Chain A
Amino acid sequence: MECSQCSVHLGHCAGEENWVDTRTVYIGNKEPPPGAEAYIPQRYPDNRIISSKYTFWNFFPKNLFEQFRRIANFYFLIIFLVQLIIDTPTSPITSGLPLFFVITVTAIKQGYEDWLRHKADNAINQCPVHEVQHGKVIRKQSRKLRVGDVVLIKEDETFPCDLILLSTSREDGTCFVTTASLDGESSHKTYYAVQDTKAFITEEDFDTLQASIECEQPQPDLYKFVGRINIYSDRNEPIARPLGSENLLLRGATLKNTQHIYAVAIYTGMETKMALNYQSKSQKRSAVEKSMNAYLIVYLCILISKALINTVLKYVWQADPDKDEPFYNQKTDTERQRHILIRAFTDFLAFMVLFNYIIPVSMYVTVEMQKFLGSYFIMWDDEMFDEELGERAQVNTSDLNEELGQVEYVFTDKTGTLTENNMEFIECCVDGYVYVPDAICNGQVMPGSTSMDMIDSSPGPGGKESEELFFRALCLCHTVQVKEEETVDGIKMGIHQNKATSFYISSSPDEVALVEGMKRLGFTYLRLKDSHMEILNREDEVERFELLEVLTFDSVRRRMSVIVRSTTGEYYLFCKGADSSIFPRVISGKVEQVKARVEHNAVEGLRTLCVAYRKLSVAQYEETCHLLNSAKLALQDRDRKLAEAYDLIEKDFVLLGATAVEDRLQDKAADTIESLQKAGMKVWVLTGDKMETAAATCYASKLFRRSTQILELTTKRTEEQSLHDVLFDLSKTVLRQHGSMTRDTFSGLSADCVDYGLIIDGATLSAVLKPSQEDSSQGNYKEIFLEICRNCSAVLCCRMAPLQKAQIVKLIKSSPEHPITLAIGDGANDVSMILEAHVGIGIMGKEGRQAARNSDYAIPKFKHLKKMLLVHGHYYYIRISELVQYFFYKNVAFIFPQFLYQFFCGFSQQPLYDTAYLTLYNISFTSLPILLFSLIEQHINMDILKKDPSLYRDIAKNSLLRWPIFIYWTFLGVFDAVVFFFGSYFLFNNSTFTSNGQMFGNWTFGTLVFTVLVFTVTLKLALDTHYWTWINHFVIWGSLLFFVIFSLLWGGIIWPFLNYQRMYYVFIQMLSSGPAWLSIILLIVISLLPDVVKKVICRALWPTTTERIQVGEHTHTHTNTYTHTHTHAHIMHRSTCLHFRTR
């Protein structure tokens, strides 16, 4: 059934050559010979790379448009325009100036960045390339290159566009390329020239080449390419050859170890894969940002309701014409004639303008700056620098800093993340006999010597043959390269003469370990030359095998194969892969013994691979070739067709044996996992590895403890029972325990309660997640599964395909509690999960830099995750939450008095404060203290945060930005505003303030309120500061001083450019009055009092863990190191230095 279906599908695809999705490129842009398909000229972009967003002309309008697309900027623009159009209480400058400032700064920043990009683009676009035209080499600017041009690239040159390799200076038609600038992988990769053009080695030759390339239209996947080349030789039918990603040289990669190559351009300019990959990935938004937006909406509602209330009250109050227009305050005629509705609407807008400061522009700027500047602390962190790799932590996005403090689920990859991905060959097992290379002779192994150690009895007579076949299989079945340049070095250095003069490179460390292990067992893989693999056997003879086909590894099949022909003309198919993908395909061999050994090794935590082979007859080989070629030639769905072909070829194996490779745990991986669990995070390990291996790693990394009760949800169990029953069984067990656990939590004894660990494998997982229509009860599997997971402290998912990893993350993300997830991994197979999770962390590992490139943050080692989350995440979260709350607080306290004042000025929109104060309050008087606070606040010492991970629980679930806390802050703001306003009101009400009997006016009233406001708001922050460095002192006292100096100056001069002088001497007169001083002090004390009392009482009666630790730390500091830390700061500094060094 399945077969017929796919063959139908195959036929369908082959018949439908979709010309829209492919392009035809004529090499050298020569017209095809007559009789070929009709020449369809296609237009392609030139090879100009444009990474810049703007040109000189469109920068201004386009940048403004981009900026005003942000809701906040647009809101402020509207307010500004309203101020320009209608007669408003405050001058347009008050909102125009901050907006202008923000827009200008952003525009300058973006303009500068774009200028840099222009410069970089120009450098690239104008760099010379060598094009082959009419048998001559012409120098050309890179941007003038067109699709179809044949170019000559020399060693160490970077490819100017995406090219199909036609021929190289090397005889075998290969070239080496490093893609370091594309994906960070610095290893050399081999690319292959098209077999039939390999012979074209001079410029003149290419003049005679007539060929066309059909390939897919450009797509961003760097590792995927399908195409076909048709070579027209004289009058014959064109020869068609498949093209794959092994023929495609990508723009941005560099040619290495090859003198020169000839290649033809197929994708140019913005259509190159590199350019297509410029497209930024989707933006992730943090939980804090979401709460901030929710608060904004609340404040917008407050703003609108305030304006509405005031408008309504205004018209109620004005119903009496003597109040609306008393004799002393007449309207102009135009005002009188205006329709009442228009008047009401303008009044509403005017109130909006008056109160609009409640949503400040500066909050966005401050938050952005905090995030941007704050992220430097991650990069600067000395403890997250890895000496070995020479790498420090990277921040790819600063939007998610605070999310690091909110993580509830950690999804980690195993290989390369928890483990070193530094493989060491441990043993192999051939037909049940175990071979262990002698560790002592490491590096000194002489070929032919008995360097192996038989654990079991020596193999029987037949054993020798299969043993050698096994070794040969391992020597042949891989994609390892031999790095040759080292040979030269090795010869030069006499000391190394005895040592290996070459070493192996591969994208998979397992393969290197295996090939090296084979070397120690006597079979040395020498090189791949002219499609022949050379092996030095135990007898010191070189054996040559012709490499016919490589069926590359992929994570779905989980195996790879090679087809070789021995010198005797026999065809072999060697295959190695995961046991689960080999055993079902084995028809003979000592399956039981090998299986037992594999399981034994897996339990030990070793990575096991099985090796099998199949002898092919010539006919079988030809059939295989046919299958493969037809799949390779397909333009559509090539991957699927290849997979189908592989499936047909890789069968009927004879089992040879198994290997075991050890992957050591990373430094402090166990400690990190333990800390994360103590911090209340659930750690899930998602791996493609075998269950036993993965479980062993989990035990070693303390994810599972001896006390952990393991629940299995694997294919083995679901074979015995139905999935349904298994799920219900498990959930029953878990829930029963859960009930008693909650009781224990109350009594505080939960620490060492029985916890559960769940193991699930990929197959079962897809069964659980499979949506099914026929049975309604099956739809609940997901929920039951989630319920079980929620009650397990650790989950291990093994046998995962990359996409399944992302599926799991998505499943947890969308569970009802919407927990914050973090995914960490190092390989390309983790990218999907890194992109899916709220926070994606890449490890700069051995499997290339793809994970690090796609992540939000990249760290050198798994152990750095601990500091990243427990220290940086925690700090960023408390910092930004205080920042957000404080911003709303200070603006409520700022604007609410204006609202109250409307009740005393006939709802006339009279502002309480002067324009300068309105403008500068958020920009300069109160901006820096909170910005610096949000950069350097440390409520608890860093070391304590690391030592005591449970503190992380205190901020879990966005606890500092919950609604009650937000409401508390808002009410605090309102309370303070009421104190400021009515305090000043009762002082001003009908009384003289000065000792010379003179009276103050409305501007003095506003200035008094404002002075109290600035001081209160700044001191409130000072009270919240737990970490007073000199910077805090400087900024807090500096802003207050700046306010005073500014006010003195602002009122000290008749400003010639202003048309009003209402602030003249107001501040100075106010300060000359004794009661004003007394009332300022009094009002500040009253405003701050409730918050202090609340804090102190809460701390005394219901202290959080954090607060308890703070007090403990404090008394500790007092008794022991007070003098060191505070009175002699430099001594303290020295001691930390010493401390660092000893570490």
Chain B
Amino acid sequence: MMASSYNAKEDGHVTVPGGGTIQNKKPDNTAFKQQRLPAWQPILTAGTVLPAFFVIGLIFIPIGIGLYVTSNNIKEFEIDYTGTDMSSPCFNCSQSFSWNSTRPCTCALPFSLEQPFESNVFMYYGLSNFYQNHRRYVKSRDDSQLNGDTTSLMNPSKECEPYARNEKMPIAPCGAIANSMFNDTLDLYYIDPNGTRIQIPLMKKGIAWWTDKHVKFRNPGGNPNLTSAFQGTTKPINWRKPVYELDTDAENNGFINEDFIVWMRTAALPTFRKLYRIIQKKNNMTPTLPRGNYTLEVTYNYPVRSFEGRKRVILSTISWMGGKNPFLGIAYITVGSVCFFLGVVLLIIHHKYGSRNNTADIPN
């Protein structure tokens, strides 16, 4: 050690002052320049990879089983209320739709739950064949307007075209996304065994991302009076009421209305669901939704027939891993098994050929 460090120093002395001499041309003898940096040199052979495969197998299979069981324990109920079928109670509503009808069309769908839903129940509406991820649609919004910027409020971004202005008045909120906001009203009734309809309380708080509600979306100006804050703007064409009348609760009105925020987060795929309401568990004694008969009352405002869309309502419980999704569990089990199987195959290969390679090396 001493010798080498001394040597290095001496080298340095010779090279530095000897400018322009022959010594100067001598390359530095450093590990990097001589490509001799100390290095770990792993090689993927059957022998080294084998344990990794077994370990992956042994870890993945239990995770997969866990995920699968969890997913199976989640209760989910789905009901389609599009009303394309003659027999459907919503058939009339779906047929007689017009944008400017003043009287809302309502329909009621009875259904029954075979099993009680124990914990909090999340109520989703789902749309199919609805291209929220269409490029023209995705970009048709003005984020600075939604963030409460007053200049953008009066001058919506060009991206919002053709939903930026209506008869010279700026639209708030502008754009195709806002304009096509889902506006069916869904109510849930429990028919208790003696026939009385009990409305189930639906909570509309907490359905949007916290950061969206509190940071990304903001009402314009510091004005607590939303009506005057939105003065000079007009409502989106398809809406029945202006944005400041979405809710009576001031904390859930205007741009920070949670239904609106949820809708504004464009879905990734043409078949999607969005969180509508949360049914909170009352106490430990009774299930949130006991088994029995229910009625879903729909105020049918949203037309999907023109593009062959479907509308449905989903009731689901949630675990730590989210909603029902057997795919992840199955995938984990499959990959784990494949790894395990490959591990066995490699073990055989290793035994059969590994030794042969080594013996072949020795004469070399």
> Which residues of A are in contact with B by a Cβ distance under 8 Å?
89, 322-323, 326-333, 376-377, 379-382, 385, 390-392, 875, 904-906, 908-911, 936, 938, 941-942, 983, 985-1002, 1004-1006, 1023, 1026-1032, 1054, 1059-1062, 1064-1065, 1069, 1073-1075, 1078-1079, 1082, 1085-1086, 1089, 1092-1093, 1095-1097, 1099-1101, 1103, 1108, 1110-1115, 1117, 1125-1126, 1129-1130, 1132-1134, 1136-1138, 1140-1141
Contacts and interface: CB of A to CB of B under 8 A. Distances in A.
- Nearest 7 A-B pairs (CB), nearest first? A390-B22, A328-B180, A992-B323, A1005-B268, A380-B33, A997-B122, A908-B135
Contacts of A991: 322-325, 327
Contact of A329 (B180, B273, B303, B323): B180
A1023 B25 contact: no
Interface bracket on B: 35 or more
B102 interface: no
A1029 B38 contact: yes
Interface stretch (B85-93, B104-112, B222-230, B330-338): B330-338
Interface of B: 1, 3-4, 7-8, 22-23, 25-29, 31, 33-46, 49, 56, 60, 63, 67, 120, 122, 124, 126, 130-144, 147, 157, 159, 161-163, 176, 179-180, 206-209, 211-212, 215-216, 238, 262, 265-275, 278, 303, 306-308, 316, 318-325, 327-328, 331-332, 335, 338-339, 342, 346, 349-350, 353-354, 357-358, 360-361, 364
Given A998-B207, A1075-B321, A1111-B43, A906 B134 contact: yes
A1108 B360 contact: yes
A332 B176 CA distance: 11
A904 B25 contact: no
A906 B270 CA distance: 9
15 contacts: A327-B306, A328-B180, A330-B176, A331-B162, A380-B33, A392-B25, A941-B41, A992-B323, A995-B319, A998-B209, A999-B267, A1074-B322, A1075-B321, A1085-B339, A1115-B358
A996 B216 contact: no
B327 A987 contact: yes
Q: Which of A89, A1100, A1112 has the most CB of B within 10 A?
A: A1100
Contact of B307 (A323, A1000, A1027): A323
B134 A329 contact: yes
Contacts of B133: 904-906, 908, 910, 1002
B317 to A, nearest CB: 9
A390 B25 contact: yes
Contacts of B46: 1096-1097, 1099-1100
A30 B162 CA distance: 84
Given A1029-B37, A1100-B354, A910 B216 contact: no
A1078 B265 CA distance: 24
Nearest to A384: B27
Contact of B45 (A1002, A1061, A1100): A1100
Given A1029-B37, A1029-B39, A987 B325 contact: yes
Given A995-B320, A1126-B40, A1075 B325 contact: yes
A543 B39 CA distance: 71
A989 B272 CA distance: 7
B33 A1141 contact: no
A1078 B211 CA distance: 24
B328 A1079 contact: yes
Contacts of A89: 135
Contact of B26 (A392, A905, A992): A392
A1132 B40 CA distance: 12
Contacts of A905: 131, 133-135, 270
Nearest to B302: A328
A381 B27 contact: yes
Nearest to A1004: B268
B266 A1059 contact: no
Given A323-B307, A390-B22, A1064 B35 contact: no
Contacts of B4: 1133-1134, 1137-1138
Contact of A997 (B41, B157, B265, B318): B318
Nearest to B349: A1100
Nearest to A1103: B357
Contacts of A1065: 209, 211-212, 216
A996 B137 contact: no
Contacts of A1095: 44
Contact of A988 (B159, B268, B346): B268
Given A385-B27, A1028-B40, A1061-B216, A904 B270 contact: yes
B335 A989 contact: no
Chain A interface, DSSP helix/strand/loop, else mixed: helix
A1097 B332 contact: no
A327 B8 CA distance: 78
A938 B39 CA distance: 10
Nearest to B215: A1054
A936 B35 contact: yes
A1097 B39 CA distance: 25
A997 B278 contact: yes
B169 to A, nearest CB: 17
Contacts of B41: 941, 1026-1028, 1113-1114, 1117
Given A331-B136, A392-B26, A1082 B322 contact: no
A1101 B162 CA distance: 64
B335 A1086 contact: yes
A1004 B60 CA distance: 25
Given A989-B271, A1026-B41, A1100-B353, A938 B35 contact: yes
Given A998-B209, A1112-B361, A1031 B37 contact: yes
Contacts of B307: 322-323, 326-327
Contact of A992 (B23, B33, B42, B322): B322
Given A326-B307, A942-B35, A993 B322 contact: yes
B265 A1001 contact: yes
B269 A332 contact: no
Nearest to A1022: B42
A911 B135 CA distance: 8
Given A986-B327, A1054-B216, 19 more contacts: A380-B34, A382-B33, A392-B25, A905-B134, A906-B134, A908-B134, A910-B135, A985-B269, A990-B126, A995-B318, A997-B316, A999-B273, A1075-B325, A1079-B328, A1089-B335, A1096-B346, A1113-B41, A1136-B36, A1138-B4
Nearest to B264: A1001
A381 B36 CA distance: 11
Contacts of B270: 904-906
B48 to A, nearest CB: 9
Contacts of B354: 1100
A996 B349 contact: no
B120 to A, nearest CB: 8
Contact of A998 (B42, B208, B272): B208
Contacts of A391: 25
A904 B269 CA distance: 6
A1089 B159 CA distance: 43
Q: Which of B142, B271, B322 has the most CB of A within 10 A?
A: B322
Contacts of A1079: 328
Given A382-B27, A1078-B328, A1114-B43, A1096 B49 contact: yes
Contacts of A1140: 29
A1113 B357 CA distance: 12
Nearest to A1008: B268
A1082 B180 contact: no
A333 B164 CA distance: 13
Given A985-B269, A1082-B335, A329 B44 contact: no
A987 B206 CA distance: 23
A1060 B126 contact: no
Contacts of B141: 1060
A987 B357 contact: no
B211 A1064 contact: yes
Contacts of B339: 1085, 1089
B179 A328 contact: yes
